[in-house]
Structure 1
Amino acid sequence: MRYWYKIHRWIGFICLLFFLLLCLTGLPLLFKTEIHDFNLLDKENMHPASDYGQIWREVDAGEKLVKEGYSGKSIRSISVQPDEGRILFRVQDKDSNKPVAARLSMGGEQLAYYPSDHTLQPWHQEKVKYPWLAEFMHEMHRLHMYLGMGKGGMVFLGFMCFLSLVSVVSGCVLYGPFMRRSPFALIGKRSWRERWFGWHKFLGIATAVWAIILCFSGVVIVIFSLSYGLYIQDSKTAVKDYWQSAPAAGKHLSLAEAKTFVMEAFPDDVILSLDLPDRRQSPAAYIFYITPATENPLDFLGQLVFIPDRKGMEPQYFTKPLPDYLFFAGYMLKLHIHNHELLILKILWALLDIALIFVILSGLLGWLRKGEKIERSSVATPSLNRPTASTWKWPGILAGLSLLGLVLPLYGTVGEFAGTIAWLAVALLSIFLWRERNSQGNA
């Protein structure tokens, strides 16, 4: 246990600032949709939502408008946002050689086409009440995702997530020996240090499952992003070998023809985005990113389908299935992002986030004042004696409810309701136990 104690102290100290940064930046991002809607100046003219099939049928009209209004630009990729009723055209100067890809969001500028009123405008030029608020949310997103430093920052934050995971897990290992003689949720009153340490233990174990899942999923998301980039590169290499002996292109295949072919060849899938062919390379191809229509489309998750940019032969395609591990990574992405869509769930997650921030700060204060003379019963090195089963009774119940609160909202409206009940139970049970333990006095 002494080794676990050292691991918890030193690893926690190393990753503390970055763990705190992720918690602080994640707090406003929980309410990004509500903040965005609040900040819009012209809410009455918001564009109606659409579905994938309908919005892709409007791409041809948007393509025509882009070519007419931006004759010096070429369309490099197209992606859709049905919930916003928006089609995004990523364009660049016709003489530019910079790579552009829809899924990796590389290079170019984006134009937003709204089929509902047939308008085209540069993306992110919405009229807002407070530009500083929009800029603040943008910075929070950049810091939370990659410290504003691109792929290198994302990898570094992923490593900090791993260290944070080790810190939380080691804290859970230490909980039993520390609490062998104390009931759960009891806050000491003998010294300032004991009170802070009591809150550190109580809130730390109450938020442990939530923190573990978010840290672990954060690590997986980074691996997911890097692995998906490798999948894209491997697929592009494989298609070159597959079409190496293909005849030279005659007439080029139009976007409408390629899109119609894919929609007919994969009737059970939806198109997330596509990269248009670079006709300076051979073989040139349309690259579609598709996913099953029954699933909630996720960022970066899309199987590549290549359509050769040539006519005069039977239409064909080449595709390479997604590796199985990417589907697991996609599920972890859901646990991190898509399981708190209801406002009540966002509020409950915000309370968990604030509690975890307190755990981090109380751990920091304990570290800074570690040289003070303290009650040995409060923060001494943990006992080697095995904790009793009752030590884990209430933490185990809270852990089970937390898992239900994380998983159930992924399964429709009923799941969201059940998940909300689970998180409310976590909050109310924690408050009840705290009041019961501390109402008896602890002189």
Structure 2
Amino acid sequence: MSSHARRLRRWYVVHLWSSLICTLFLLLICITGLPLVYTEEIDHLLSNDPPYAALPANTPPASVDRIVAAGLQRYPGQVVTSLYIDDDAPQVYLFMAPSMQALREHPDSGHYLQFDSRTAQFVKESDPPGEHLPSFTSLMFSLHTDLFAGLPGELFMGAMGLLFVVATVSGVVLYAPFMKKLDFGTVRRKHGSRIRWLDLHNLLGIATLMWVLIVGLTGVLNELATPLFGVWQNTDINQALQAWKDKPPIRADQLSSPQAAIETARKALPEMTVTGINYPGSEIGSPHHYMIWTKGNEALTSKLYTPVLVDAITGQLSAVMPMPWYLKALELSRPLHFGDYAGNPLKILWLLFDIAAIVILGSGLYLWFARHKQRRARFRKLLQPARAATATARGIN
């Protein structure tokens, strides 16, 4: 066997086993990814939220202080953990828990209240802790990202995504010599079903190559979000908080106005839009600061976030925390992974590519089983003379 043939054989083995190991999980990822392309549309369709009040488009938002006060009035023994300001709809989500420590130890103890951002009127709240039923899209997202297993599941699915990238690259290496004697796009329809599926498998694989690599690599990066944010928390943020490390934890009655903290962040970054607040003691953030999340207003910068630390007692600006390059790459990869950059046309394209990927993965499984079945048939055929001779010998004896 020539060195070239040996190299192709090694690439074939890499392609075969990397594909076999990850295929079932990648099928699950692709199937759950179909509805996730239209997460917002599905959530809106299945939502039973009451309609928002009909107000002029230029109605200014209500003070966040009013929303926080309303939440604390409904749950006087609890604390606010974070607040999310939706820039696509007039709504604010206020997240609460018995305490920050209880939320860390028992994530199910957290819940949210939804308000109209213009009137500060209460809209609805999540089910009581422990009774919350996840939405259809949240179920699909959990299956897609971590198999309901948290960080271990995220890392496992990231490994499967990496194997998918390896299978794709090795498939490209094998494609060129395979297609040397065939025109591009050839599907040999007169050579049996296995050959037809092999040609279709190769054609779809090479036609969707760039999409598969983009979605595969961004998917792997997305699965690393938890450890990457942990690295950021333990390096840049902790370094910025050295001046507060010896100060006692902040009590709830010491907190300054969250609305004033938002205004401080807006003055520091006037070209940015505020999207939320992490309260002191949150998993990501500071024990002594409001972490105000801001994002840009352009198509690209709207995917990039810049947190601002505001002293939760004095309300003074402490630091603007530009994200490191690896978190910027993560933030840019998230909408690209789900085709959420250019509206409905890109979503339709992503949907079609996803369906093609399901066909590629399914045909790959079929080809392996068909080849395995063919080998078994050949092995049985080779054994037939020996079996016949054994039967004859037994008859004579």
TM-score bracket for this pair, using the shorter chain length = 0.7 to 0.9
Partners of 2:350 and 2:249 in 1: CA distance: 56
Partners of 2:153 and 2:56 in 1: CA distance: 35
Contact 2:306 2:323 survives alignment (8 Å): yes
Which of the two has higher C-alpha Rg? 2
Deviations 1:263-285 (A, max 9, x none): 22222222232122359xx9622
What code does the residue aligned with 2:168 have? V
Partners of 1:39 and 1:273 in 2: CA distance: 25
Partners of 2:143 and 2:287 in 1: CA distance: 39
Aligned counterpart in structure 1 of residue 72 of structure 2, from 60, 63, 67: 67
Instruction: Calculate percent identity across the aligned residue pairs.
Output: 27
Contact 2:146 2:152 survives alignment (8 Å): yes
Q: What TM-score do you get using the length of structure 1 for normalisation?
A: 0.70
Deviations 1:37-92 (A, max 9, x none): 3334568x2578999x954x531221121122222222121121121221111111
1:306 corresponds to which residue? 309
Alpha-carbon offset, residue 15 of structure 1: 0.5
What code does the residue aligned with 1:303 have? T
Contact 2:339 2:350 survives alignment (8 Å): no
2:294 corresponds to which residue? 290
1:142 matched to 2:155: no
Alpha-carbon offset, residue 236 of structure 1: 4.2
Alpha-carbon offset, residue 184 of structure 1: 1.2
Aligned-partner SS, 1:180: coil
1:221-236 alignment, distance < 5 Å: 221-236=222-237
Q: Structure 1 109/359 Cα, relative in aligned 2: closer, same or farther at 3 Å?
A: same
1:161-172 alignment, distance < 5 Å: 161-172=161-172
1:186 corresponds to which residue? 186
Partners of 2:362 and 2:245 in 1: CA distance: 59
Q: Structure 1 321/88 Cα, relative in aligned 2: closer, same or farther at 3 Å?
A: same
Partners of 1:248 and 1:204 in 2: CA distance: 55
Alpha-carbon offset, residue 339 of structure 1: 3.9
Aligned counterpart in structure 2 of residue 85 of structure 1, from 90, 115, 120: 90
1:333 corresponds to which residue? 334
1:119 corresponds to which residue? 121
Alpha-carbon offset, residue 106 of structure 1: 8.8
What code does the residue aligned with 2:183 have? P
What code does the residue aligned with 1:24 have? I
What code does the residue aligned with 2:309 have? F
Q: Structure 1 245/204 Cα, relative in aligned 2: closer, same or farther at 3 Å?
A: closer
1:216 corresponds to which residue? 217
Partners of 1:19 and 1:248 in 2: CA distance: 45
2:156 corresponds to which residue? 156
Q: What TM-score do you get using the length of structure 2 for normalisation?
A: 0.78
Alpha-carbon offset, residue 297 of structure 1: 3.8
Aligned-partner SS, 1:258: helix
Partners of 1:68 and 1:213 in 2: CA distance: 47
1:4 corresponds to which residue? 11
1:270 matched to 2:273: yes
Aligned-partner SS, 2:211: helix
Q: Structure 1 331/42 Cα, relative in aligned 2: closer, same or farther at 3 Å?
A: closer
Deviations 1:388-423 (A, max 9, x none): xxxxxxxxxxxxxxxxxxxxxxxxxxxxxxxxxxxx
Partners of 2:246 and 2:361 in 1: CA distance: 60
Stretch of structure 1 that moved more, 193-202 or 157-166:
193-202
Deviations 1:87-112 (A, max 9, x none): 11111125x62356xxxx99621111
Q: Structure 1 327/135 Cα, relative in aligned 2: closer, same or farther at 3 Å?
A: closer
Aligned-partner SS, 1:317: strand
Give the number of equivalent residue pairs.
354
What code does the residue aligned with 1:284 have? H
Unaligned runs of 5+ in 1: 126-131, 375-443
Q: Structure 1 272/338 Cα, relative in aligned 2: closer, same or farther at 3 Å?
A: farther
Aligned-partner SS, 2:329: helix
Aligned-partner SS, 1:200: helix
Contact 2:309 2:321 survives alignment (8 Å): no
Partners of 1:191 and 1:182 in 2: CA distance: 17
Partners of 1:84 and 1:201 in 2: CA distance: 44
1:386-401 alignment, distance < 5 Å: none
Partners of 2:186 and 2:151 in 1: CA distance: 44
Stretch of structure 1 that moved more, 170-179 or 301-310:
301-310
1:346 corresponds to which residue? 347
Alpha-carbon offset, residue 335 of structure 1: 1.8
What code does the residue aligned with 1:238 have? Q
